[in-house]
Amino acid sequence: MTTRLFGERVPRVEDPRLVTGNGRFLDDLGHDALEAAFVRSPHAHARIVDIDVSEALDVEGLVAIYTYDDLDGRTGEALPLLIPHPTLTHGRTPHALARDEVNHVGEAVVMVVATSRYVAEDAAERVRVEYDFLPAVVGIEAARAAEELVHDDVPGNLAARMVQQTGDADAAVDAAPNLLELDLEIERSASMPLEGKGVLARWDPDDESLLVHTSTQTSTSVRQALAAKLGLPVDRVEVVTPDVGGGFGVKIVHPWPEEILVPWAAIRLGRPVKWTEDRREHFVSSAHERGQLHHVRVGYDDEGVLAGLSVRFWHDNGAYVPYGLIVPIITSTQLLGPYKPGVYRVEFDSLYTNTVLVTPYRGAGRPQGCYVMERVMDAIAAERGIDRTVVRERNFIRPEEMPYDHGLIFQDGRPLLYDSGDYPATLAKLKKLVGWDGFEAYREQARAEGRRVGIGLACYVEGTGVGPYEGGHIRVETDGTVVVSTGLTTQGQGHRTMLAQIVADELGVPFDRVRVTTGDTRRFKYAVGTFASRTAVMSGSAVALTARSVRDKALTIAAEALEVDVEDLEVVDGHVRVKGSPSSSIDLGAVAVLSNPLRYAFDEAAARATQFAAPADPEKPPVGPGEQPGLEGSDYYSPPRSTFANGMHAVVVETDPDTAEIRVLRYCVVHDCGTLVNPMLVEGQIHGGVAQGVGGALYERMEYAPDGQLLNASFMDFLMPYASEVPEVEIDHLVTPSPLNPLGVKGAGEAGVIPGAAAIASAIEDAEGLTITRMPISPSELFALRAAHRKETP
Amino acid sequence: MKPPAFAYHRPRSLADALDVLARLGAEAKVLAGGQSLVPLMSMRLAAPAALVDVNHVPGLDSVEVTADRVVVGALARHSRVEHDPEAYDAVPLLRRALLLVAHPTIRNRGTTVGSLVHGDPAAEMPAVLCLLDGFVTLRSASGSRDVPADAFFTGPMESDVRPGELAVSATFRRPPAGSRSSFLEVSRRHGDYAVCGVGAVVSDGTARVALIGVGAGPVLVPLDEPDDPDRVAAAVDAAIEPEDDIHATADYRRHLAQVLTRRALAEVS
- Choose among A133, A132, A110: nearest CA to A707: A133
Sequence letter at residue B262: R
Query: In the predicted model, what is the mean pLDDT of residues B103-116?
Result: 97
Range of the structural domain that residue A752 is part of = 362-466+640-792
A637, A664, A685: which is the final residue of a domain?
A637
Looking at the fold, whether B83 and B159 belong to one and the same domain comes out as yes
CATH number of the domain bearing residue B245:
3.30.390.50
Task: Give CA–CA dist B167/B73, Å, rounded.
Answer: 9
Looking at the fold, whether A579 and A670 belong to one and the same domain comes out as no
Strand order in the sheet with A101-102: A101-102, A46-52, A128-133
Q: Does B195 contact A658 at a Cβ distance shorter than 8 Å?
A: no
- If one counts the domains in chain A, the total is 3
Looking at the fold, whether A504 and A620 belong to one and the same domain comes out as yes
How close does chain A come to B165, measured CA to CA in Å? 29
Range of the structural domain that residue B208 is part of = 180-268
Looking at the fold, whether A645 and A753 belong to one and the same domain comes out as yes
User: How distant is the alpha carbon of residue A713 from its chain centre?
Assistant: 22
Q: Does B252 contact A121 at a Cβ distance shorter than 8 Å?
A: no
Of the candidates B3, B191, B247, the beta carbon closest to that of A722 is on B191
CA triplet B129, B135, B137: central angle to 5 degrees? Answer: 135
List CB contacts of A505: < 8 A, sequence separation 6 or more.
Answer: A2, A4, A5, A6
Looking at the fold, whether A627 and A768 belong to one and the same domain comes out as no
Q: Is position A298 within any domain?
A: no
Looking at the fold, whether A653 and A699 belong to one and the same domain comes out as yes
CA triplet A663, A669, B190: central angle to 5 degrees? Answer: 25
Q: Is position A268 within any domain?
A: yes
Looking at the fold, whether B166 and B187 belong to one and the same domain comes out as no
Q: Which residues of chain A fall short of a pLDDT of 50?
A: 1-2
The b/e string for B74-90 (b: 16+ C-beta within 10 A; e otherwise) is: bbbbbbbbbebeebbeb
Q: What is the 3-state secondary structure (H, E, C) of A272-288?
A: CEEEECCHHHHHHHCCE
State the DSSP code for A493: S
Instruction: Report pLDDT for A313.
Output: 98
By CB atoms closer than 10 A (0-12, 13-18, 19+), residue A73 is exposed
Q: Is position B1 within any domain?
A: no
Q: Is position B12 within any domain?
A: yes
Query: In the predicted model, what is the mean pLDDT of residues B98-125?
Result: 96
A605, A637, A669: which is the final residue of a domain?
A637
Looking at the fold, whether B109 and B67 belong to one and the same domain comes out as yes
Q: Looking at the predicted structure, is the pLDDT value of residue B248 above 60?
A: yes
Looking at the fold, whether B18 and B75 belong to one and the same domain comes out as no
Q: Is position A15 within any domain?
A: no
Q: Is position B78 within any domain?
A: yes
Q: Is position A476 within any domain?
A: yes
Looking at the fold, whether A645 and A656 belong to one and the same domain comes out as yes
Looking at the fold, whether B82 and B155 belong to one and the same domain comes out as yes
Could you read off the pLDDT of B123-161 as tens digits, one per residue?
Answer: 999 999 999 999 999 999 999 999 999 999 999 999 999
Q: Is position A712 within any domain?
A: yes
Beta strands in A370-481 (DSSP E): 404-409, 415-418, 452-464, 470-476
Q: Is position B24 within any domain?
A: yes
Q: Does A780 contact B249 at a Cβ distance shorter than 8 Å?
A: yes
Looking at the fold, whether A778 and A645 belong to one and the same domain comes out as yes
Q: Is position B203 within any domain?
A: yes
Instruction: Report pLDDT for B200.
Output: 97
Instruction: Report pLDDT for A596.
Output: 87
Looking at the fold, whether A522 and A456 belong to one and the same domain comes out as no
Find which of B188, B190, B198, B262 to mutate to test the A interface (most A CBs within 10 Å of its CB): B188
Cα dist from A331 to A287, A463, A750, whole Å: 18, 11, 14
Looking at the fold, whether B251 and B215 belong to one and the same domain comes out as yes
Given a contact cutoff of 8 angstroms between Cβ atoms, the answer to whether A306 and A339 are in contact is yes
CATH number of the domain bearing residue A754:
3.30.365.10
Of the candidates A122, A703, A719, the beta carbon closest to that of B4 is on A122
Instruction: Report pLDDT for A624.
Output: 84
Task: Give CA–CA dist A363/A330, Å, rounded.
Answer: 9
Task: Give CA–CA dist A785/A483, Å, rounded.
Answer: 58
Given a contact cutoff of 8 angstroms between Cβ atoms, the answer to whether A241 and A215 are in contact is yes
Looking at the fold, whether A541 and A522 belong to one and the same domain comes out as yes
How close does chain B come to A58, measured CA to CA in Å? 15
Q: Does B189 contact A725 at a Cβ distance shorter than 8 Å?
A: yes
Cα dist from A622 to A85, A483, A560, A609, A615, whole Å: 52, 25, 14, 16, 11
Instruction: Report pLDDT for A616.
Output: 66
Of the candidates A279, A659, A711, the beta carbon closest to that of B186 is on A659
Q: Is position A207 within any domain?
A: yes
CA closest to B260 among chain A residues: A659
CATH number of the domain bearing residue B51:
3.30.43.10
Q: Is position B226 within any domain?
A: yes
Q: Is position B202 within any domain?
A: yes
Q: Is position A526 within any domain?
A: yes
Looking at the fold, whether B169 and B187 belong to one and the same domain comes out as no
Instruction: Report pLDDT for A1.
Output: 42
Task: Give CA–CA dist B16/A209, Å, rounded.
Answer: 56
- If one counts the domains in chain B, the total is 3
Instruction: Assess whether the previous peptide bond of A679 is cis (omega < 30° from 0).
Output: no
Q: Is position A456 within any domain?
A: yes
| Residue A135 at interface with chain B, using a CB cutoff of 8 Å | no
| Residue A659 at interface with chain B, using a CB cutoff of 8 Å | yes
CATH number of the domain bearing residue B113:
3.30.465.10
SS3 content of chain A, % helix, strand, coil (to 5): 30, 25, 40
